[in-house]
Amino acid sequence: MPINASYQAIWNVVSSIPRGRVASYGQVARLAGLPGRARLVGTALGEAPSRQLPWHRVINAQGRIALPPNSPGFREQRKRLREEGVMVVKGRVDLRQYGWKTGSDSPLLD
DNA sequence: GACATGACATAAC
DNA sequence: CGTTATGCCATGT
C-alpha cells in the first residue's frame, strides 16, 4: 500500500539493469509495474540508498543525463557510465547502442 | 489544503 | 534541433 512498495519495485528494476547498459525513467517505471510514473522513478532514486544502486544507468528518454550539466551528480554519473564502457558525448548516450532491451542483450547492435 | 517544483514521458506543431 | 501542452505524483512550503 504505502509508496514504499513502489520504491522497492523501482529499486528492484534499477538493480537489474545490466552493467554497460542504460534504461530510461519511463522504461524503469513500466518494468516496475508503474506505467506513466516516470517521475516517481526520479524521486525514488533521489531517496534511494545510492550505495547499492546503479542509479547512474538511468537516463531520460532522449538518452540524456537528467541531472544539471556540470553538477556533481552529473559528473559522477558520466564517470560511472564511462567506467562501464558507455560512451557519453555531450551528456548524451546512444540508446540504440546502450539501451537496455529487457529479455535479451541486443545481440545485433553490439 | 492550495501552490510550486522536479533525476520524466509522449504527442503535436 | 525547439516549444507547448498534458499527464503524472511525491515532497516541501
Q: pLDDT of A42-96, one tens digit each?
A: 999 998 876 689 999 999 999 999 999 999 999 999 999 999 999 999 999 999 9
Quick one: how far is CA A92 from the chain centroid? 13
CA angle centred on A76, ends A74 and A78, rounded to 5°: 70
Per DSSP (E only), the strands in chain A are 23-24, 58-59
**One-letter identity of residue A85:** G
- CA–C1' distance A80–C11 (Å)? 28
Which nucleotide is the nearest neighbour of A64, by CA and C1'? B7
CATH number of A3-98: 1.10.10.10
Nearest to A27 by CA among A58, A50, A73: A58
Q: Is strand B within 7 Å of residue A43 (CB)?
A: yes
Nucleotides of C under 7 A from a protein CB: 1, 7-11
The pLDDT of residue A104: 56
The pLDDT of residue A48: 80
